[in-house]
Amino acid sequence: MEQEKIILVGVFLPNRTEEAFWNSIRELRSLTSTANGEIVDELIQKLERVNQASFIGSGKLLELAELVEMHEADVVIFNSELSATQVRNISKVVAARVIDRTQLILDIFAMRAKSREGKLQVAYAQYKYLLPRLSGQGASLSKLGGGIGSRGPGESKLEMDKRHIREKMDDIRAQLTHVEKHRKRIINRRNEQAIFRFGLIGYTNAGKSTIFNRLTHETTIEEDKLFATLDPTTRKIRFAGGFQALITDTVGFIQDLPTTLIAAFRSTLEETANVDVLIHVVDASDSDYLQHETTVLALLTELEMNHIPILTVYNKIDQITQGFIPDRPEHLLISALSSTAPTSLKQRMIELIEKNWHYFSKEISEEQGKELAQIKQRAWITKLEYLEDNKAYLVEGYQPRKEPTND
């Protein structure tokens, strides 16, 4: 697929530090690369406040038009959210498709969604984004499916009024309700199994899928691209003695995640909301790792998941810079690709199981072989000893809840 030529536009405002601004530009470059775009130039402007009419100043707008003409650029991507009026005014001067960061992220999600639910949620988020922007976008939105920022929900043209879009959204909502009910039935069945569940979360491209694959021997997508994993995947993880737990890999978080996506993917993240412990993977080699941590924790609060215990796993420690200092008390330092990573991570996971489940100790007679087999399957056994005098087994370990008493 031929790469489109992209010009990035960033406005440096007084409410951001210089470091935060350049980190956001670096992230926009990564997003553009993920969307298969070729960056041919960048336009940066320092402003006290954004121009309500065209976001950037009128002089910079003319400069942008010249850059588009010189490079024969296909798309201009702004590192902020634009209003419909701003897009319309910029498009009058610039001979290229004009999109913003939100539209770029929605576009990547449209590329990455594989499951029916994922595709429906992306389509819903895209329609929700388009609805207030229909008036005045004109030619820039006349077709969907024609390149970066226009991989749409499946309509070949946007010759539809707002009522038509609302009808489409209602239809998607109805389909989503059906899909969500099916997924909730699966989650409820898992809950009834009283199995310990871990959820992998973290900033996009932190290495969650690599860790997931090392722990489960699966082959989910591992790419050095943003949002490589979109649809949540749950697999079994096996420990010593036959004990099993579940682990779920999820979509990566990102700062300033479009609100349309937070709402749309809330249900997808329900798969992680039901876990016993969250494993928060942080790319320790990224100079902006503290901001990434903050973004993830803020989104957990917004998704009402901040009550779940968290183990912070600092990944890529073989590539860390001098300024790196772990700032979470419950943490582990690893390099996901090293041979020792799965063992050290599993050891910490066992410690977390012991911390969050209840300790038990009981004797089981020789005749109760079936009960012993069941306990081995659903509990983490720390001691199993045959008592010759009692003709029974002494079993110690941890299980989801205390055994009911008859007194």
230 assigned to a ligand binding site: yes
203 assigned to a ligand binding site: yes
168 assigned to a ligand binding site: no
316 assigned to a ligand binding site: yes
251 assigned to a ligand binding site: yes
276 assigned to a ligand binding site: no
154 assigned to a ligand binding site: no
DSSP of 131-170, one letter per residue? GGG-TTTGGGGSBSSSSTT---SS-SB----HHHHHHHHH
202 assigned to a ligand binding site: yes
C-alpha 272/C-alpha 310 separation (Å) is 12
110 assigned to a ligand binding site: no
Sheet holding 380-387, edge to edge: 358-365, 392-399, 380-387
**Is-contact 106 128, C-beta < 8 A?**
no
Q: Which residue has the tokens 């924790």?
A: 297
The number of C-alpha atoms within 13 Å of 263 and in the hemisphere containing its C-beta is 11
Amino acid identity at 198: F
393 assigned to a ligand binding site: no
146 assigned to a ligand binding site: no
Taken in order 267, 303, 327, 354, is the CA torsion positive or negative? negative
337 assigned to a ligand binding site: yes
77 assigned to a ligand binding site: no
208 assigned to a ligand binding site: yes
355 assigned to a ligand binding site: no
Q: Among 42, 4, 37, which residue's Cα sits nearest to residue 24?
A: 42
92 assigned to a ligand binding site: no
Residue 235's CB: how many other CB atoms inside 10 A?
15
The number of C-alpha atoms within 13 Å of 222 and in the hemisphere containing its C-beta is 13
206 assigned to a ligand binding site: yes
150 assigned to a ligand binding site: no
74 assigned to a ligand binding site: no
318 assigned to a ligand binding site: yes
C-alpha 183/C-alpha 402 separation (Å) is 29
361 assigned to a ligand binding site: no
231 assigned to a ligand binding site: yes
Tokens, residue 77: 């991507």
317 assigned to a ligand binding site: yes
In sequence order, which residues have a C-beta less than 8 Å from that of residue 354 and are 6 or more positions away? Answer: 380, 382, 398
Task: Enumerate the known binding-site residues for Mg(2+).
Answer: 209, 229
What residues form the annotated binding site?
Answer: 202-209, 227-231, 249-252, 315-318, 335-337
Annotated binding site for GTP: 202-209, 227-231, 249-252, 315-318, 335-337
